[in-house]
Structure 1
Amino acid sequence: MLRLVVDHADLLHTRFGVSPLAELGALLRKLAGLAPLGRFERLRPAFERLRATTDLDAVLALQSARHGADFVAPPPAGMQQTWADDIATVRATPLDVARAELPHRASPAVLRVFESPDVVARIADALEAAWETLLAADWPQLRAICESDVVHRAGRLGHGGWAAAFDGLHSSVRWHAGAIEVSGGPGVRTVASDGTGLLLVPSALVWPGIATYVDPPWRRAIVYPARGVGSAFVSSPSALADLIGKSRARLLVALETPASTTQLALGLGLATGAVGDHLAVLRRAGLVRAVRSGRSVLYRRTPLGDALVVVPVRDGPPH
């Protein structure tokens, strides 16, 4: 078990962030068989082409099921982190820093990459190719889901403090006796407070697990599965779509987590105006309601909306 001791100064400095490069790393681990693949099976052919035509195998050699080289997963600065920020940081890695993290055992082809004087550039090029081929198209949707999770947790923070914000972060995480406890692993490791706070990073791709960072260059961080990530990849129930229409069904399914019109449009790949129109219909039908959160208006399902999503719609009248 890992215990991250948290004091008052830590809570004042705790913030959220997103990490496009960490998301890519999680996806590559899934595709390499180091984590459950699930819905991303569709990407396997493109992944195999990248392995044959780029230095992606050198990137994969830097990963394991539980660990990875730090220089290919720089910590995010906040919620505005972009892919361009991340890859620029990778390209700026000093050669000696990168070499210190390169494994000594690998295939001959990978070792040739590691021994080359331009190893940092070659790894960065492979990461860029993987990003553009595997993740860039889906990233606006996935980022919107991560942002929606932050809005949800900020609301819980406002109503119940940090204990409420941490509640439901992951089944292995709990707030206990002045520390964030993450179960798993042998023994107990306690990491003392350093007054800089925690970095909480919602992820669309780390599911079903969780990642923690306690060593430089990262500040103490928890990367956890964002709520509602399944809505970006799972089709709406066919009977529900027959009843209220495919787009409205997708919106109702996606509102497992409260979200704004813009977040829903990005997350589902729909026009903002169309989302607004559909939400108005769902609201008049009593299936969703609008709640103001700061400057945003968030939509959430009503109990009736929950019942329609959870309970299968019958093909005929009940007996």
Structure 2
Amino acid sequence: MITARLSAPVLSRVRLAISPAAEALAWLVLTVDGGRHPIFGAPGPAARFALRDRDVRMIASTLPQGPGYMPDLLSPPPPRGPAERTWADQLEVTAATEADVAAKQVRSSMRPNADAVRAAESGTFAARAAQGLARFWSAAMADSWSGLRERLDLDVAAKSKLMATSGIGEVLGTLHTGIRWNGEAVEVAKNACYWDKAPTDLVISPVALTWPNYYVQLEDQENSVLYYPPQGLGVPTDGDRDAISRLIGSTRATLLQDLHVPRSTTDLSKRHHLAAGTVSYHLSVLHGSGLVTKSRAKKTVLYQRTDRLQ
């Protein structure tokens, strides 16, 4: 059991915030382990395609299989400021991590590959990690983030209302059965030896892609986070369509639907009012994932979907 007393100044700074970085890491863990989310299913081909990127593989090697230490620099707490800036700000914080801090965290991770170790020793791990996270997000999550964020926003709104009507103690006591508020301290039902001092700041953040579990980030007093499962996420809604559940993304799902016959990049661009470069990028992901084939008709490259949609 971890126990941390929260002083009045700390309680006054407790805040709710959504963490895109935490969602990205959760999806990457499932991708690496070949796991399946109880609601959103398996990460799918787009996420697996992203693992071809060297920096994404480097990050993946530092992630635990099951419970274990995850380098904190990969999931910096959501900073204060506009929610629309959170993801970009988190990437900047990751990239700016001091080299010795990054190296220590890589050494503490479960199974870093040789590339991760070399990057940590050379001082390039943090910058490459930020690049890898950005690429994984672009390939596997960007298209479907709005649907996921909508569910997270609903939970934050409900928690904010509870805070307004019943106080922060009630919120802290209803995050998860493994997290308790005894009136003076937060009690977390996890074994750990690194929260020796109470946090000076605390963020509570809903994470959908680790649902129904919770976890904690407690190594840094100034950047402590309680990640909890959003309430009501297990209740199906009209928004939980197949494209969202697999996190393929609406744009790729639309292109796939239209590729029941061979079409060119130019044709798809005109039909869906998308830039040719955007269509080309999504087609490359779909092709690399085995969801579409391509063939040449004279000087034109034609794409057509396959039956492999799992």
TM over 0.5: yes
- Specify the alignment match of 1:224 in structure 2: 228
How does 1:128-143 map onto structure 2 within 5 Å? 128-143=134-149
**Between 133-142 and 41-50, the greater mean CA deviation after superposition:** 41-50
Structure 2: where are the runs of 5+ without partners?
241-249, 251-310
Instruction: Indicate yes or no: 2:184 matched with 1:182.
Output: no
Q: Please give the alpha-carbon distance, in whole angstroms, between the structure 2 residues aligned to 1:59 and 1:169.
A: 29
Distance 1:167-1:133 versus aligned 2 partners, 3 A rule: same
Distance 1:118-1:175 versus aligned 2 partners, 3 A rule: closer
Deviations 1:175-212 (A, max 9, x none): 114111111327x9875545x45211122222122121
How does 1:207-222 map onto structure 2 within 5 Å? 207-216=211-220, 218-222=222-226
* Partner AA of 1:166 in structure 2: L
Deviations 1:218-259 (A, max 9, x none): 53321111223346xx4x5xxxxxxxxxxxxx27x9xxxxxx
Contact 2:18 / 2:152 at 8 angstroms: preserved in 1? yes
How does 1:106-145 map onto structure 2 within 5 Å? 106-108=112-114, 110-111=116-117, 113-114=119-120, 118-145=124-151
Task: Tell me how large the CA RMSD over aligned residues is.
Answer: 3.2
Q: Please give the alpha-carbon distance, in whole angstroms, between the structure 2 residues aligned to 1:209 and 1:89.
A: 26
**Between 143-152 and 113-122, the greater mean CA deviation after superposition:** 113-122
Q: Please give the alpha-carbon distance, in whole angstroms, between the structure 2 residues aligned to 1:197 and 1:91.
A: 22
* Partner AA of 1:228 in structure 2: G
CA drift at 1:161: 2.0
Q: Please give the alpha-carbon distance, in whole angstroms, between the structure 1 residues aligned to 2:221 and 2:7.
A: 21
* Partner AA of 1:158 in structure 2: A
Distance 1:202-1:177 versus aligned 2 partners, 3 A rule: same
Q: Please give the alpha-carbon distance, in whole angstroms, between the structure 1 residues aligned to 2:221 and 2:173.
A: 27
Counterpart secondary structure, 2:205: strand
CA drift at 1:89: 1.9
How does 1:1-319 map onto structure 2 within 5 Å? 1-33=1-33, 37-64=37-64, 65-78=67-80, 80=83, 81-103=85-107, 106-108=112-114, 110-111=116-117, 113-114=119-120, 118-185=124-191, 192-193=197-198, 196-216=200-220, 218-230=222-234, 234=236, 250=238
Distance 1:167-1:22 versus aligned 2 partners, 3 A rule: same
CA drift at 1:169: 0.9
Contact 1:69 / 1:102 at 8 angstroms: preserved in 2? yes
Structure 2 length-normalised TM:
0.65
Give the fraction of aligned pairs with identical amino acids, expressed as a percent: 26
- Specify the alignment match of 1:239 in structure 2: none
- Specify the alignment match of 2:308 in structure 1: none
Counterpart secondary structure, 1:67: coil
Contact 1:172 / 1:182 at 8 angstroms: preserved in 2? yes
Deviations 1:256-297 (A, max 9, x none): xxxxxxxxxxxxx9xxxxxxxxxxxxxxxxxxxxxxxxxxxx
* Partner AA of 2:99 in structure 1: L
CA drift at 1:45: 2.2
Distance 1:94-1:226 versus aligned 2 partners, 3 A rule: same
Structure 1 length-normalised TM:
0.63
